[in-house]
Amino acid sequence: MYNVAQVIDEKCVAKKGCRLCIMYCPEANCLDLNSSKMVAEVTIDRCKGCELCVVVCNAAKHEAIEMQAVSATGQLMTHKSESAALGQAYQG
């Protein structure tokens, strides 16, 4: 398990011109603008979990990025999907 960055769409102000995280992410093709939704978007399998994007987004007081755990198979381990998956497993 490791951590990757996830943008909270509702908080991202990319539509107002913010590109801070995109400029600071050290990985190529990792953090980019989703031009249809007009929010920053992380490509999970490119993210190295350095948290630089979280630092710059928070420094600008947008707080629109959080780190989330990912399983070895590359699935986001949000609490919701985790318990849903467990529920399914136990229901057989």
Contact with ligand SF4 (CB under 6 A) among 32, 50, 66, 82: 50
70 binds ligand SF4 (CB under 6 A): no
Element (H, E) at 21: helix 20-24
Residue 49: HSE in the Cβ half-sphere, 13 Å Cα cutoff: 9
User: Interface with ligand SF4 includes 65 (CB under 6 A)?
Assistant: yes
Q: Which stretch binds ligand SF4 (CB under 6 A): 40-48, 69-77, 78-86?
A: 40-48
Question: Per CB under 6 A, does 13 bind ligand SF4?
Answer: yes
CA distances to 27, 73, 92 from 1, rounded to whole Å, are 20, 9, 25
Closest residue by Cα to residue 57 from 31, 27, 84, 18: 18
Q: Does 12 bind ligand SF4 (CB under 6 A)?
A: yes
Contact residue for ligand SF4 among 36, 38, 42, 68 (CB under 6 A): 42
